[in-house]
Amino acid sequence: MIYFDNAATTFPKFKEVYEALEYAGVNYAFNAGRGSYKKAKLILDMIEDTRSKVSKLLNSTSDRVVFTSSATEALNNLIYGLIKEGDEVLISPFEHNAVVRTLHNINAKINIIPFNKDLELDEVKFKDLLVIKQPKAIIISHISNVLGYMLPYEKIFSIGKKVNTINILDAAQSLGEYDIDINNIDIVVFAGHKSLYAMFGVAGYLNLTNVSLKTIKVGGTGSDSLNLDMPSIMPYRYEAGTNNSIAIYTLNKAIDVITKLDIKKHKEELTNYLISKLKDIPGIKLYLPKNSLPCGIVSFNYKDYIANDIGSILADDYDICVRTGYHCVPFLNDFLDLNKNKGTIRVSFSYFNTFAEIDKLIDALKGME
């Protein structure tokens, strides 16, 4: 199997992560608890150690790291905790349904940040939009899960701060692999099982500037039980129920591994190679940013074929796994005209992909000519 669906979840994981899963299943499957039995204290220490490792990825501190079960849950809790009906919010055309459907669900006013067809920010229109809408928040991806496009988040957030927007960066496709300049960012969302190479069950956000949030996920905290409100102490105020210590331990060990590697560089080389090869195939339409390199994710179509039909042939005849369709990005179709192909064919890389795998994909596509 050739696996090119790493934007959905990275596969394989590092051997240290598989070992961590197995070890934690036996040794760390307890509820964390201060002032309790040894195992409970051990779990608490391990979780706090992981929190510290996550915080260091963004030069922050442990108390700013809130764990959730998924990036979807993180974005749900953040948006419900911050935005109310009628609030103006700016997002990019590349945002995922974890953001868009959540905003839509509470009837927030969704405004799309203007980009041109070359994926360049239209700064003038963007500034106009900011002045007119005075949005409460800007929520954008660091790297688009469809196009691999790295958004100019520094520029967008610094301009936004002039009207005091709360700036949220969805780094589900990047934290762990790509550096993030936290200047002007209030909150960063991460997904453990994607660019951080952990197992399912751990994700979260860093509330870097301690933005005030309503509590959404509430429940038992193992302390302060008689208080009907969540305890005030950070980050526990935003974590209810049993932490998934097994998944958290896989993240702990994954961070140790990935911080020693230059995964970004390898993905850049793979991306360059894939694009150069795809450009040689007649009938391939690439969706590329004009002035930057996609970051490990490339979307394309082949002639007028339905993207999913190409995906099925690649899967069934070549055992090559790609993702096809609209990739949970509802405004993409307004931005790129994808009706004919019903979405795109998406190739997304991880540390484990090779140039030889790309050659096999290229041969497969050429075989369809």
Residues 22-41 that bind a second copy (CB under 8 A): 22, 25-26, 29-31, 33, 35-40
Q: Which of residues 338-357 bind a second copy (CB under 8 A)?
A: 343
Q: In terms of Cα–Cα distance, which of 137, 135, 35 is closest to 81?
A: 137
Site string for a second copy, 115-154 (x = CB under 8 A): ----------------------------------------
Among residue numbers 3 through 22, which ones bind a second copy (CB under 8 A)?
5, 8-9, 11-13, 18, 21-22
Show Cβ contacts of residue 360 under 8 Å, excluding neighbours closer than 6 positions: 2, 318, 320
Q: Which stretch binds a second copy (CB under 8 A): 181-189, 294-302, 321-329, 344-352?
A: 321-329
Among 178, 273, 305, 326, binds a second copy (CB under 8 A): 326
Site for a second copy contains 364 (CB under 8 A): no
For the bound state, the minimum distance from the C-beta of residue 101 to a second copy, rounded and expressed in Å, comes to 4
Residues in 266-295 at the binding interface with a second copy, rule: CB under 8 A: none
Cis-peptide into 235, omega within 30 deg: yes
CA–CA gap between residue 61 and residue 165 (Å, rounded): 23
Stretch touching a second copy by CB under 8 A, among 57-65, 204-212, 242-250, 346-354: 242-250
1 binds a second copy (CB under 8 A): yes
230 binding a second copy? (CB under 8 A): yes
> What x-and-dash track marks residues 209-228 binding a second copy by CB under 8 A?
------xxxxxxxxx-xxxx
85, 229, 337, 369: which one binds a second copy (CB under 8 A): 229
